[in-house]
Structure 1
Amino acid sequence: MRFVQPFRDPEIIRAIKKDLLKQGRLRDYAMFELGINTGLRISDILQLRKRDLKSRELYLTEIKTGKQKTFQMNPTVRRELLSLLKDWDDDDYIVKSREGVNKPITRNMAYKIIRRLGEEYNVRNVGTHSLRKTYGYFFYHQDKDIGMLQKIFNHSDPSFTLRYIGIIQDTMNEATRSFRV
């Protein structure tokens, strides 16, 4: 299994979101926006329905851990998504399949969408976990609270969380880039 990286460049993130909306790829936009703004695993994002966004708090049972999770997402993101999905039924999956049945896309399809975005924007080593890692990467840079991020991600060790979100790689890159004998 390959170790995927977060989307690190805010300009690329803005361009991706802008282009997805411009192209009418609402499903892909919603998946991307939810991933980078909630830190949820893709398996949990795929289970979300429009009705889940109506409450100020999201309540879910994580697929991987089976643990109950309650959290507030950014109200601006929540309102924007609800506005974009205003014509949808409350029972509709947010990242729904185009096969005519109200069901979410598969993890494999989500992977293909994210990989395609990486190729389009020349971002290497991305996959579905890149969305979660992007959330962590920017959360850490904004708050510098590795303990809180460790708790959000349910990691057992802060050093694992730093490695997971790519901070250790950034630190090594900076050190080797400036090193000269």
Structure 2
Amino acid sequence: MKIEANKKEEVKDVQPIRSLAQIEDMKWSLKKYCSERDYTMFLLGINTGLRVSDLLKLKVKEVKGKKRITIKEGKTEKPRTIYLENIYTELNDYLKSVGNSEWLFPSRKGDKYVSRIQVYRQLNKAAYMVDINEGIGTHTMRKTFGYWYYKGTKDIASLQMILNHSHPEITLKYIGITDEEIEDSLNSFVL
């Protein structure tokens, strides 16, 4: 199976994973068919909402043994605190396999981080293996975080700040809530 990666992934076409069962399927597939690196990146992405470009640039020394880190986001150049306590054990178990690479998610050569294109390919490979057929890309992790954070808290103001969006409507549209809520309300509407 060959998965082609579009260098300019369309963010609007990428969807959050809206099913907890599909999230678990993706985790299983990434571990079984891809690698511990890809699984850990997915885990970190869906639990922090970091952009893939920021995930890729993380270094081992920045996260090793830490339950909270502060990074400067690449796109916005704003500082952001990332909480790692909920995945601390899995992240530190993974770190044992990284060896002496400075990068948290090294390429096979180890002297640089894995490419965004490779992340795209691995996510799509894992999705294909568990019959998730559409809407998967590198932004899937960030959108999945946003979707489930909102579903769990209904706190759009905090999520807007976490994702560094300028307006709540942008955040709701980004995670696909607006369309979903309209559809749900119309499905139950009857006169």
TM-score (norm 2): 0.83
TM-score (norm 1): 0.87
Distance (Å, rounded) in 1 between the aligned partners of 2:120 and 2:186: 32
Q: Relative to 1, partners in 2 of residues 1:2 and 1:101: Cα closer, same or farther, differing over 3 Å? A: closer
Aligned residues: 179
Measure how far apart 1:38 and its partner are: 0.5
Q: Relative to 1, partners in 2 of residues 1:162 and 1:90: Cα closer, same or farther, differing over 3 Å? A: farther
Question: What RMSD over aligned residues (CA atoms) do the two structures have, in Å?
Answer: 2.1
Q: Which runs of structure 2 are paired with 1:137-148 in the superposition (5 Å)?
A: 137-148=147-158
**Structure 1 stretch displaced more, 54-63 or 36-45:** 54-63
Distance (Å, rounded) in 2 between the aligned partners of 1:144 and 1:136: 11
Aligned to 2:16: 6
Q: Relative to 1, partners in 2 of residues 1:175 and 1:122: Cα closer, same or farther, differing over 3 Å? A: farther
Moved over 6 A (4+): none
Aligned to 1:20: 30
Q: Gapped runs of 5+ residues in structure 2? A: 1-9
Aligned to 1:69: 80
Contact kept, 8 Å, 1:50 with 1:82, in 2: the verdict is no
Letter in 2 for 1:129: H
Q: Which runs of structure 2 are paired with 1:52-131 in the superposition (5 Å)?
A: 52-54=62-64, 55-73=66-84, 75-89=85-99, 91-98=101-108, 100-123=109-132, 124-131=134-141
Distance (Å, rounded) in 2 between the aligned partners of 1:47 and 1:96: 10
**Structure 1 stretch displaced more, 121-130 or 26-35:** 121-130
Q: Provide the secondary structure at the position in 2 that maps to 1:114.
A: helix
Q: Gapped runs of 5+ residues in structure 1? A: none
Measure how far apart 1:135 and its partner are: 0.3
